Amino acid sequence: GSTSRFQICCIGAGYVGGPTMAIIAKKCPTIDVTVVDISQRRIDAWNSEADLPIYEPGLKEAVMNTRGKNLFFSTDIDGAIEKAHMIFVAVNTPTKKDGLGAGRAADLTYWELAARRIAKVAKSPKIIVEKSTVPIKTAEAILTVLNASGKTRFQVLSNPEFLAEGTAVRDLESPDRILIGGNLKDEDGTAAVEKLVDIYSHWVPRERIITTNVWSSELSKLVANFFLAQRVSSINAVSALCESSGADVDEVSTAVGLDSRIGSKFLKASVGFGGSCFQKDILNLVYLSESMGLKDIAEYFHWVVKMNDLQKERFVSRIIHGLFNTVTGKRIAILGFAFKKDTGDTRESAAISVCQRLVDERAHLDIYDPKVEESQIWQDISTASKMDRLELEKLIHISSSPYGAAQGSHALVVCTEWDEFQDLDFEKILSIMEKPAFIFDGRNILNHEYLRKLGFVVYAIGKPLDPRLNVV
């Protein structure tokens, strides 16, 4: 019967909880996995026959093959907590908007609510697993909340998730490493860690499963994202130098990346990194350092985010200066709005800042993205802009094709590296644009030489400047 089977509960059915639990269910047929969420709509979507709430290659198959067998989605949070042996917490932890640490510290409201719920409902010992990225020492704080009820015993483990959007299933099925932090000095703590190691051992080679103390594990997640983002900010800093010196940033990153100590990944210059994690985790690290009195260390971390903001601003100023120092009243086509290709996610997307800045300058934008919902684009720009919706509607139009967006425009601005942008009919696009026709390639994905031969004036990140481009 189901009561003798090992029971996992996951609180939070989002980008992290959903895919992670689907893969655990797929790889561990003898374990029952119940994913719960406060959002009925989210749960209904996970239970639907049509589209799941998240698109990831391979995810639908994994869910369809396990759902109703050993994978369940439900809003009965208390019921799932009660019967679980192990509870993953994968709720969102956004950056705090107000109060102490606003704009830097993580907002742990959702985490704490989940913990209080567990404390209230649990009658038998449970292993709690932190999946959400949380500031270091959270496990300790959570344990205090849990143990305050005094009803039963808890172990809290840290088990950060390193999956990237668009490759979630691949990242989960063959991870570089699994990191588990726990209280290894204590017998119960060690047993809890071993239990989680057992689960991952169903499909992950044992040598890739690393166990550490809780703080190392919590910190490693923040540091991993810092290192990745740092590489992007570093190459973006180099891109500015390239434009002024005549060097080519792609040539530089190839040459640098071939050093095996450096490696070639995450060295692609761009208009700026986005996504739900990088900025949030780095600001978290900044806050953490500041609160420990490490002001200079905090500043060092902070520069990775500042450099990213500068890169977005530098790109926008290239557009404005390129278009003869004013974009007021000019039509600009924005190609791509997602924070990277192959996702409909726009969280912290560079496109949001670029659009907001251009709208500030009273440019008329026509935006096209193959995957992002129209309502999402409106919401993102409204949130970022000081203008109200009525004003914005006079300046922004959203098109369902790149050609629609390009029609009558002075410039094409590439914000996301969608593959389909490389295959556009640029002769046709040139013919429907105002002249001189400009292209600002924020992702270096187009064939710039070919475009210049056609007659476009092209700006690309970190490339020798087009002599026809107005620069200051």
* Residues annotated in a binding site for NAD(+): 12-17, 37, 42, 91-95, 132-133, 165, 277-280, 347
Residue pair 133/110 in contact (Cβ under 8 Å)? The answer is no
- Closer to ligand UDX by CB, 25 or 222: give it: 222
Residue pair 10/84 in contact (Cβ under 8 Å)? The answer is no
Which of ligand UDX, ligand ADP, none is residue 351 near (CB under 5 to 8 Å by kind)?
none
95 phi/psi in degrees, rounded to 5: -75, 140
State the angle between helix axes of 214-245 and 278-291 in degrees (0 to 180), rounded to the nearest 10: 110
Instruction: Give bridge partners of residue 49 from the DSSP assignment.
Output: none
Which of ligand ADP, ligand UDX, none is residue 17 near (CB under 5 to 8 Å by kind)?
ligand ADP
Contacts of 184 (CB under 8 A, 6+ apart): 190, 193, 211, 212, 213
Q: Which residues bind ligand UDX (CB under 6 A)?
A: 161-165, 225, 228, 232, 266-268, 270, 273-275, 277-278, 339-340
- Closer to ligand ADP by CB, 6 or 110: give it: 110
- Closer to ligand UDX by CB, 32 or 161: give it: 161
Minimum separation from the CB atom of position 120 to ligand ADP (A): 12
- Closer to ligand ADP by CB, 8 or 445: give it: 8
- Closer to ligand UDX by CB, 34 or 253: give it: 253
Q: Is 242 a catalytic residue?
A: no
Contacts of 180 (CB under 8 A, 6+ apart): 157, 158, 159, 193, 196, 197, 200, 209, 210, 211, 212, 217
- Alpha-carbon span 284 to 276, nearest angstrom: 13
- Closer to ligand UDX by CB, 37 or 165: give it: 165
Minimum separation from the CB atom of position 156 to ligand ADP (A): 16
Query: What Å distances lie between residue 245 and 272, 310, 314, CA to CA?
Result: 21, 19, 16
Q: Which residue is nearest to ligand UDX (CB)?
A: 275
Which of ligand ADP, ligand UDX, none is residue 90 near (CB under 5 to 8 Å by kind)?
ligand ADP
Minimum separation from the CB atom of position 352 to ligand UDX (A): 11
Query: Which one from 9, 28, 242, 277 is the annotated catalytic residue?
Result: 277
413 phi/psi in degrees, rounded to 5: -120, 115
Which of ligand UDX, ligand ADP, none is residue 274 near (CB under 5 to 8 Å by kind)?
ligand UDX
Query: Binding site for substrate, residues?
Result: 161-165, 221-225, 261, 268-274, 339-340, 443
- Closer to ligand UDX by CB, 19 or 182: give it: 19
Q: Which residues bind ligand ADP (CB under 6 A)?
A: 11-17, 37-39, 42, 77, 90-92, 110, 113-114, 132, 276
Minimum separation from the CB atom of position 29 to ligand UDX (A): 27
Which of ligand UDX, ligand ADP, none is residue 183 near (CB under 5 to 8 Å by kind)?
none
Minimum separation from the CB atom of position 161 to ligand UDX (A): 6
Which of ligand UDX, ligand ADP, none is residue 114 near (CB under 5 to 8 Å by kind)?
ligand ADP
Minimum separation from the CB atom of position 16 to ligand ADP (A): 3
Minimum separation from the CB atom of position 373 to ligand UDX (A): 18
Active-site residue list = 277
